[in-house]
Amino acid sequence: MLQRQHGSPSHVPDYVFQHPRRPKHDPLPADPLGQRLALLFPNGWDWIFASVPEQGNPVDWETVKKFPLSPVELWSLHQDPDCLIGVRPNAQTRWLVLDIDKDSRYHPTSAPHWLPKIRHALEEIGICRSLLCQSSHSGGLHLYLPLPESVSSFWLSVCIKLNLEAEGVKFCGGQCELYPNPKRYVPKGKGYSLFAAFRLPMQPGSGFHPLDTDLNPLPWFLEDWLDCFELCADGQDMGRLHHAIADAQQNFKVRKSGNASSLATWQERIHEEKSQGWTGPGQTNEKLKIIACEARVFLGMDSSEQIAEYVCQTAQNTPGFNEHCRHQHEIERRSYEVATWTMRYYWPAGSAPARDAKYNDKQVAPADFGYHQSKREAAQNRIKKAVFELRRVSKLPPGITARASAIAKLAHTSQKTLYRKSNLELWHPHHLPPEPPQKALDPLQEGTITQLCSNNTHFLNQRKLELYLLKDLLQLYIYVGFVIMTMRIQAAVALALKGQRAAKAALVNSEDLDRGGLGGNSKVIPIQNWDQLHLSLPPGLQQKISKAKRQQQRELEYEQRRRQRVKARKSQRKALSEANAELRPQNQEQLPLQLITNGEQPIEREARLSEREEFDHWYQLAMQCKLVADYSWRDGEYWVLAEEQWQPYTELSAVFTLRAMERMFGVCLDLKGDTDGFP
């Protein structure tokens, strides 16, 4: 175990210097920051190195296998701005890095909701704090997950992978990756596999920057980043994380080995978890996953809807659900998400697994039919005809390279297609079978050899079916549109007739109607004014209109009385001020301040000294940024001319602050400069 080095910072926890994998004979750097960095990334074997590329070019990484990277060399190369280095995780680690590429579907610029969702899922398993950083100039993200103590790198990566996959995250290159990653299995005696390597943080000139919550770069140095790393590590819930890692080990092993004892133990543990229920917040993902596994593996449910219904009902009846579960409002949606995830990764006990191949089985390529098979057959036919044509005109080269070039040119195929194992016997001199007597093929010209079309009629029939379906849908849309237009016309006609009948009923007192038939036989007078229209409306609607008019009248009367009271108070204040004016002293010089008014004109407030200084500073910087063209003081505040419109200074300065203008336009105002010419 390493001891704390002389000169190390006192605020660094002791467990930083207790990494079990650092050999004692490797000296640490003299710089305390180098010591902390070397202890955090101790594995020097199979490290990667690259020179700093030109702007816009990709990094050309090279794996160094001849010698390990010592701590002193690590610190020296880390501080070199002309190179980039990276290391691989050790068997035990205090961190995990989630790599999100710039063009990934999980990047905040593409989908802002994914990063908070990932952090929430990590918090459910005990990783409550994370450190978000920009990985390079490309704009990708590295989400560091610091830990206060070392855990198994492999099982930590498996735990994170399983829990994030339950949230819908798919790990693949160019989208989202893990360091350490769940490395592939290598059978015993056939070598070993390595964790994937990644670049070290905070290398000068590498484009690595810590980010705040708004994805803005933070002006940190390496010491600030290491201090924040340890602060985040102290905030993790290691008890919950160890429990999540144990669950990941159990799920991983059960999927690999389906023996009866493991299944029985797993089923007993599920019953214990269900009987215990929720004991606190942050257990929803784990409980729902356990219930879903029971439904899929032991109850044999074979649909996401059936599993989701079982998970939802069982969770609501589990002890502690109403007291501790914070997802009660979305329990149906969460149940369906867990059910979908369970259908992908689990299968009923006793049935054939989704993946029946094992690691020690021979890799046999599956049969490929349909479109690709027809493409291969067409290429083989073109090669045969090209060989026959070259032999017919006695232009088949004896050399392998020249023969391949001539055949590729005539058959319109690539060199890769010619050198396939299934095509070598068609043209290669070392693989040609003895030629049996056969009927000569029809001679073909060079320009007539083209690629044959596929004989797969399934796709043609499917295309015809799609065209018929689109035709039927188009006819349906036309019919529906015609029906809707007809209904609108009928409704308009009926509404007009109803209005005429209402007008006729309203004018019944002014004209004697003939009641011989429905609606009468007399001439109906159309509606001519608002009163007739009001009378033509139903009684209920007439009452609502009358009530609204009365309410509006009351509001108008109230507003008039309020204005009268305000006018009366103003008159009283004016009379009182005139009466007090006669009692004021005649010697105006004895007064500290005199306000001279002209009639009832309001007195305009003057700007204070602090307001003028603040406005001077902002106005000069805004002029440099060409945001404003002029200013004015009126109505007791500053107004500025921006975009040919006068706007209040307070509103514009709230958007374009001094810091925002300095950051966006790259200007800086000298506070010691002259400010003459401003109020």
14-239 maps to CATH 3.90.920:
yes
Structure tokens, 217: 């770069």
Query: Over pLDDT 90: what percentage of the chain?
Result: 12
Query: Over pLDDT 70: what percentage of the chain?
Result: 74
pLDDT at residue 601, rounded to an integer: 53
Residue 198, helix vs strand vs coil: strand
User: What is the pLDDT confidence band of residue 249, given thresholds at 50, 70 and 90?
Assistant: confident
Structure tokens, 481: 């549109």
The domains of the chain are located at 14-239, 257-345, 371-448, 530-560, 609-665
Q: Is 536 exposed, middle or buried (0-12, 13-18, 19+ CB in 10 A)?
A: buried
Asked which of 175-184, 281-290, 479-488, 512-521 is least confident by mean pLDDT, the reply is: 512-521
- In whole angstroms, what is the distance from residue 536 CA to residue 383 CA? 89
- Check whether 291 has a pLDDT greater than 90: yes
pLDDT in tens, 45-61: 888 888 888 877 788 88
Nearest alpha carbon to residue 596 among 607, 608, 584: 584
Asked which of 67-71, 87-91, 367-371, 416-420 is least confident by mean pLDDT, the reply is: 367-371
For the chain, how many residues are written? 679
Asked which of 267-281, 324-338, 439-453, 455-469 is least confident by mean pLDDT, the reply is: 439-453
Mean residue pLDDT of the chain comes to 77
Helix-helix angle 400-411:371-392, to 10 degrees: 120
pLDDT at residue 308, rounded to an integer: 92
| Beta carbons of 371 and 456 less than 8 angstroms apart | yes
**Dihedrals phi, psi of 594, to nearest 5 degrees:** -125, 130
User: What is the pLDDT confidence band of residue 19, given thresholds at 50, 70 and 90?
Assistant: very low
pLDDT at residue 456, rounded to an integer: 54
- The whole-number average pLDDT for the span 338-362 is 70
- The whole-number average pLDDT for the span 437-465 is 54
H or E segment to which residue 11 belongs: none
Instruction: Output 340 or 18, whichever has higher pLDDT.
Output: 340
Say what the pTM is: 0.39
Question: 254-257: which pairs have CB atoms within 8 A and are 24 or more residues apart?
Answer: 255/345, 255/346
- In whole angstroms, what is the distance from residue 394 CA to residue 637 CA? 98
Half-sphere exposure of 531 (CA within 13 A, CB side): 1
- In whole angstroms, what is the distance from residue 437 CA to residue 424 CA? 20
pLDDT at residue 587, rounded to an integer: 45
pLDDT at residue 6, rounded to an integer: 44
Residue 15, helix vs strand vs coil: helix
Nearest alpha carbon to residue 634 among 602, 675, 676: 602
SS (H, E, C) 388-454: HHHHHCCCCCCCHHHHHHHHHHHHCCCHHHHCCCCCHHHHCCCCCCCCCCCCCCCCCCHHHCCCCCC
pLDDT in tens, 574-607: 887 777 666 554 444 444 444 444 444 556 678 8
pLDDT at residue 16, rounded to an integer: 41
User: What is the pLDDT confidence band of residue 506, given thresholds at 50, 70 and 90?
Assistant: very low
pLDDT at residue 526, rounded to an integer: 60
| Beta carbons of 71 and 83 less than 8 angstroms apart | no
